[in-house]
Structure 1
Amino acid sequence: MQTQTKTQFDFIIIGAGSAGATLAARLSENPEFSVCLIEAGVKDTSPFIHIPFGLAFLARLTHLGWSHNTAPQQELNNRRLFWPRGKVLGGSSSLNAMCYIRGVAQDYQRWSDAGAKGWDWQSVLPYFIKSEKQQHGASEYHGDAGYLCVDDLRHTNPLSQSFVNAAEHVDLAQVKDFNGAEHHGLGFYQVTQINGQRCSSAKAYLSNAMARSNLTILTQAHVEKIIVEQGRATGVQLHINKKTLLLKANKEVLLCAGAINSPQLLMLSGLGPKEHLADQSIATIVDLPAVGQNLQDHLDVLVQYRCKSNVSYGLSLAAIPTYVKAAYTYTFKHKGMLSSNIAEAGGFDKTEFAGEECDIQYHFLPAILQDHGRSNALGHGYGLHVCALYPQSRGEIRLLSKDPQGELHIEPRYLSHPDDQKVAIAAVRKAREILAAEDFKPYQAREVLPGAEVQTDAQILAFIRANSQSIYHPVGTCKMGLAEDPTTVVDENLKVKGMSGLRVVDASVMPSLIGGNTNAATIMIAERAADLIKQEHSSA
């Protein structure tokens, strides 16, 4: 049990996820700063976190996640979708598929055009490079001196190679680097791994920083509200060791709790839409109508095949020797099947609705994964996950009570914009074209989702409504932009409007979704935020 005696710090960071761990490590590089990093979850000691193949089982370990569910989705047959978020050191970077993707330059130009000045591609690329320790060394696009290790996969399944080879079948390029000059095509993903193990933000940024005397890390500590005095955030109230504790921040409180919990904590602290706070009997300190608004996520659709071949990662008697050998190889060499992130290959493509940029992304899995990995899928097969990268639908996060550990109203409003329906239908057709390639013929496979009988647009849309799921990229609920814009929560320096001493630093500040996985961009945001904070507070 942790005994916390020090109660005053220069910086208090709420949330030790992708952003929070990065920020804590960078700020504590300055010995003049005292930093307290608070995580509601546990330490990242589970072997399922560190062994990449353990990804298949992480959703079952409920103590490592928040296990959120959405409100019933009107356009998805009123289904409630599972929204797993990390509740552990490293946050969702300790649970994700480790795919390292930055998006494209146009994504960040859109941020800048929307009022987030200083966040265009030319401004953020140096922070991607700064964060990265690239296996292939430094280049125009990559860095080799950062904390976040980005490696090639040490093992890939033959089915994943068949997927990459299928690029020729659909007139796509085979891409070697999705974070280089061109990402339109199919290829193997690079992953956030080191020595065949997951490189979460906790491993990357905290493993060395933990030894610093100016950094305090609290786990299993649930922040209940931000303390505000005379328009300034002065500290936090948290629950730890079955007790309430107040911590004081001399300089700033930095909110890094993610797209769900950051707006929740702002509202619990009296910072949010006045009418909504009144409904929950919370006194308004600053009326910020945009808190919890602008919620966006990538909606994932799966085209699934079953095959007679046992080459895939599957549960069967025939596969037992393979798993025994894999365990031996990984234990002694950190190589082989257990070093796989399962989502080994993928790519970016255009539907007929795309502009200059790719509008869909693929994740190929040489496996059958059911219910986010929460249930066993016997037998062998493979599947292609596809999502629309730039959804027009917008949702919101709302309180259901003023209980800091209570459930939230999570309303993504998937497919509420008709354009999103059109792109999703086209995406399924594109995925089917790839899986029809000659390279898959030797596996004697048959399509089970959507199924051969599902062919018309109406049938495909009905399938999407019944089966689509989140691919875990919620953003936007504390939107960054011009201070005078009523749709923003923080300014371009990530400072909460109408306040001093408080910033939000995580995926919630993204004005719009990037075209890809959001982890690398979240770490980039924290890297740049650390420099902004250091410049403001470091002594001359």
Structure 2
Amino acid sequence: MPSANQVYDYIIVGAGPAGSVLANRLSADSKNNVLLLEAGGEDNYPWIHIPVGYLYCIGNPRTDWCFKTEAQAGLQGRSLSYPRGKVLGGSSSINGMIYMRGQASDYDRWAEQGNPGWAWKDVLPLFKRSEKHHGGDSDLHGAGGEWRVEQQRYSWSILDAFREAAAQSGIPTVADFNTGDNQGCGYFQVNQRAGVRWNASKAFLRPVLKHPNLTVLTHVRVDKVVLENLRATQVRARWKGAETMFTARREIILCAGAVSSPGILQRSGIGPRPLLESMGITVVHELPGVGGNLQDHLQLRLIFKLTNARTLNQVANSLWGKVGMGLRYAYDRSGPLAMAPSQLGAFVKSDPGQPSANLQYHVQPLSLERFGEPLHTFPAFTASVCNLRPKSRGRIDIRSANPDDAPLIDPNYLSHPDDLKVAADAIRLTRKIIANPALQAFCPEEYLPGIELQTEQQLHEAAARIGTTIFHPVGTCRMGQDTEAVVDAELRVHGVAGLRVADASIMPTIVSGNTCSPTLMIGEKAAQMILAVRIHTKETDHIRETVIPVA
């Protein structure tokens, strides 16, 4: 248990995917004294670990921060739920468990934007280092890491039919979405271990909790980072009902995520001057880009009623179906309870002029009005499709100087006309896939948004009515070298010593796929860079310790 005068080499704020990796890697050297602070609690809620429990964790205040967006003009004034994990493992404890890296061109683009060391050739070894892939070690996958990647243990005939219908539309069937080019249709690989969710806490934290040089504290609400002469030296937080100061000898690393990391910076006096002054916060270091550049994947959830089909809707709404699911899962960790919410995926171009696949499908053998509500009573499936490279940009800012106040989240969805065009094209493409012979035995009938909507304007309005987040916020502490950038290519906050950000907020542009494993890779790379500095400065440790305040 930490004492008031204890000093740590490294303080990590946030125990999500990136923070968990960092705690593991930095504490591997017994000479590093590491403190990990998590605002949420333990990941011991049973539904976290049963894969289909995703449906009971989203919107549950025990496991989700239950944030809300501002009313979105582009979504007909709707405010969306904005789930974020509230336990060890962060959002890897409540997400859809899909293992996805994105496209090689995503990372090459980061490097081209002035971020050396982030090209695909640079990050692929980091993905492999963390990975424990079911197929073993290869040029593209690793087998010696902690991040388990397995094939799914259950399938549905309706999903097989969708995959065949996609092939009839010219979308090839693929076995692996993680080769650098994810175009095609196939089953997602998942972060599970024999039918149980494998979150970042299980993978990276639990194996090192006995390290005497690692301290993990939960229910610690971080307020701000304290700077002395533009060097980060302490973290001010509320822990066990009292204000507590934690001191770092070397570095403080923010891994609180795209929603919370910018808020910590802003409360620390690091951010846009007009915002900070309006909140009565002293501007310690002006960085106008903090909180900006918010990007997210907006999904359009097209729902189709079916005939002659078995879906989770019927199973979950039947007493005997529920009993059967429970018995099968208890027997061998398979059946519907073992399924990721989205089992089948597809990556396609919305139009032939796109340089690579810019749409992602999450196809689900279920339907519901919105997450957190019951499944429909009729048989149906959902073809959720999102624009992988949206041009709309939003912001996440503090609402006040009080860390207990929820942030102001304004994704600004569908504000760019190109995003509206892609949305309309996505709906038309989905209908084209559904119309293929492979699905006709199930007599698919469009429930949402409604087949009567056909014109461009009607499809724009449909996207605004049914669009919702697929939980991939990134970019609010963008990496780069220009005046709007927050961190440099080594994730150091511009103009501040001893402070880094390592989470999805540093992405200059959103990756073309699910964001959990890319965020984990960011933590892996941050650890690599931090440890390289530690080795380089080892001979001058005694000098550093006399310069950096420790109390």
User: 1:404: how far off?
Assistant: 0.5
User: 1:231: how far off?
Assistant: 1.1
Partner of 1:232: 231
Q: Which of 406-415 and 102-111 deviates more?
A: 406-415
Mapped pair 1:51 → 2:12: no
Partners of 1:397 and 1:220 in 2: CA distance: 23
Distance 1:431 1:9, change over 3 A: same
* Preserved CA contact (<8 Å) 1:11 1:254: yes
Report matched runs for 1:510-525 at 5 Å: 510-525=507-522
Report matched runs for 1:260-339 at 5 Å: 260-309=259-308, 311-315=310-314, 319-339=318-338
Q: Which of 28-37 and 154-163 deviates more?
A: 154-163
Partner of 1:491: 488
Distance 1:296 1:457, change over 3 A: same
Give 5+ residue unaligned stretches, structure 2: 540-551
CA offsets per residue over residues 250-301 of structure 1, 9 Å max, x none?
1110000111100000000100111210000000110001101111111110
Distance 1:80 1:318, change over 3 A: closer
* Preserved CA contact (<8 Å) 2:158 2:365: yes
Residue identity opposite 1:259 in structure 2: A
Q: Which of 275-284 and 395-404 deviates more?
A: 395-404
Give 5+ residue unaligned stretches, structure 1: none
Partners of 1:131 and 1:143 in 2: CA distance: 7
Partners of 2:360 and 2:168 in 1: CA distance: 17
Partners of 1:499 and 1:180 in 2: CA distance: 37
Partner of 1:63: 62
Residue identity opposite 2:479 in structure 1: M
* Preserved CA contact (<8 Å) 1:41 1:88: yes
* Preserved CA contact (<8 Å) 1:310 1:319: no
Residue identity opposite 1:143 in structure 2: G
Report matched runs for 1:386-425 at 5 Å: 386-425=385-424
Partner of 1:25: 24
Residue identity opposite 1:322 in structure 2: G
Residue identity opposite 1:536 in structure 2: V
Residue identity opposite 1:151 in structure 2: E
Partners of 1:267 and 1:282 in 2: CA distance: 8
Partners of 1:358 and 1:159 in 2: CA distance: 24
* Preserved CA contact (<8 Å) 2:102 2:182: no
Q: Which of 372-381 and 219-228 deviates more?
A: 372-381
User: 1:146: how far off?
Assistant: 0.8
Partners of 1:162 and 1:68 in 2: CA distance: 37
Partners of 2:4 and 2:198 in 1: CA distance: 31
Mapped pair 1:504 → 2:501: yes
* Preserved CA contact (<8 Å) 1:303 1:432: no
Mapped pair 1:80 → 2:100: no
Distance 1:241 1:280, change over 3 A: same
Partner of 2:161: 162
- 1:314 aligns to what SS in structure 2? helix
Distance 1:354 1:513, change over 3 A: farther
Partners of 1:227 and 1:123 in 2: CA distance: 33
- 1:249 aligns to what SS in structure 2? strand
CA offsets per residue over residues 445-500 of structure 1, 9 Å max, x none?
31101112111111111111111001111111101112xx1010001100001110
Distance 1:376 1:161, change over 3 A: closer
Partners of 2:4 and 2:369 in 1: CA distance: 46
CA offsets per residue over residues 210-244 of structure 1, 9 Å max, x none?
12111111111111111111111111111111111
Partners of 1:425 and 1:322 in 2: CA distance: 37
* Preserved CA contact (<8 Å) 1:316 1:379: no
Partners of 1:409 and 1:5 in 2: CA distance: 33
Partners of 2:5 and 2:162 in 1: CA distance: 54
Mapped pair 1:467 → 2:466: yes
* Preserved CA contact (<8 Å) 1:309 1:443: yes
Distance 1:185 1:250, change over 3 A: same
Distance 1:451 1:118, change over 3 A: same
Partners of 1:353 and 1:116 in 2: CA distance: 30
Q: Which of 158-167 and 244-253 deviates more?
A: 158-167
Match of 2:534 among 531, 534, 537: 537
Q: Which of 186-195 and 374-383 deviates more?
A: 374-383
Mapped pair 1:108 → 2:110: no
Partner of 1:171: 170
User: 1:182: how far off?
Assistant: 4.1
- 2:313 aligns to what SS in structure 1? coil
Partners of 2:456 and 2:248 in 1: CA distance: 56
Distance 1:151 1:117, change over 3 A: same
Q: Which of 353-362 and 230-239 deviates more?
A: 353-362
Residue identity opposite 2:117 in structure 1: G
CA offsets per residue over residues 381-432 of structure 1, 9 Å max, x none?
1010000111111111122211101122211111111111101110111112
User: 1:116: how far off?
Assistant: 1.3
Residue identity opposite 1:115 in structure 2: G
* Preserved CA contact (<8 Å) 2:478 2:486: yes
* Preserved CA contact (<8 Å) 1:254 1:504: yes
Partners of 2:39 and 2:501 in 1: CA distance: 17
User: 1:4: how far off?
Assistant: 6.1
* Preserved CA contact (<8 Å) 1:10 1:35: yes
* Preserved CA contact (<8 Å) 2:434 2:444: no
Residue identity opposite 1:395 in structure 2: G
CA offsets per residue over residues 65-95 of structure 1, 9 Å max, x none?
1111111111211111111111110111111
Distance 1:392 1:451, change over 3 A: same
* Preserved CA contact (<8 Å) 1:173 1:185: yes
* Preserved CA contact (<8 Å) 1:57 1:374: no
Report matched runs for 1:426-437 at 5 Å: 426-437=425-436
Aligned pairs, how many?
A: 537
- 2:312 aligns to what SS in structure 1? coil
User: 1:322: how far off?
Assistant: 3.1
Distance 1:534 1:416, change over 3 A: same
User: 1:375: how far off?
Assistant: 4.2
- TM-score (normalizing by structure 1): 0.97
Partners of 2:90 and 2:317 in 1: CA distance: 36
Residue identity opposite 1:473 in structure 2: H
